[in-house]
Amino acid sequence: MSAEASSTSDPFQTLGVPHDASEAEIRARYLDLVKQHPPERDPDRFREIRAAFDAAKDPLVIARRLLEPPSDKPPSWSDAIAAEKQSPPPLQRAFLISLGNRGDADNKPGGSAG
pLDDT per residue as tens digits for the range 55-91: 888 888 778 777 776 666 766 888 888 888 888 778 8
Name all contacts of 78-85 with Cβ < 8 Å and 24+ positions apart: none
Distances (CA, A) of 91 to 50, 85, 101, 102, 113: 50, 14, 16, 17, 36
Helical spans, DSSP H, in 58-102: 59-67, 77-86, 93-100
- 24 burial type by CB count under 10 A (0-12 exposed, 13-18 middle, 19+ buried): exposed
Q: How confident is the model at residue 4 (pLDDT cuts 50, 70, 90)?
A: very low
Q: What confidence category does residue 2 fall into, taking pLDDT thresholds of 50, 70 and 90?
A: very low
CB 27 within 8 Å of CB 34: no
pLDDT, position 35? 94
Q: Which domain holds residue 32?
A: 3-67
Question: For the whole model, what pTM was predicted?
Answer: 0.50
Q: What is the CATH number for 23?
A: 1.10.287.110
* Residue 114 located in a structural domain: no
* Domain assignment present for 72: no
